[in-house]
Amino acid sequence: MPDVMPEIVCEVCGKRMFHENADTLKIEDAVHKKFCRKDGGSYSYMHRDQQHNTPMDAEREVDTDGKPVLKR
Q: What is the 3-state secondary structure (H, E, C) of 9-49?
A: ECCCCCCEEECCCHHHHHHHHHHHHHHCCHHHCCCCCCCCC
pLDDT tens, position by position, 28-67: 999 998 888 776 555 554 555 566 666 666 666 778 888 8
pTM for this entry: 0.51
Instruction: pLDDT band for 12, please (50, 70, 90 cuts).
Output: confident
Contact 8, 24 (CB under 8 A): no
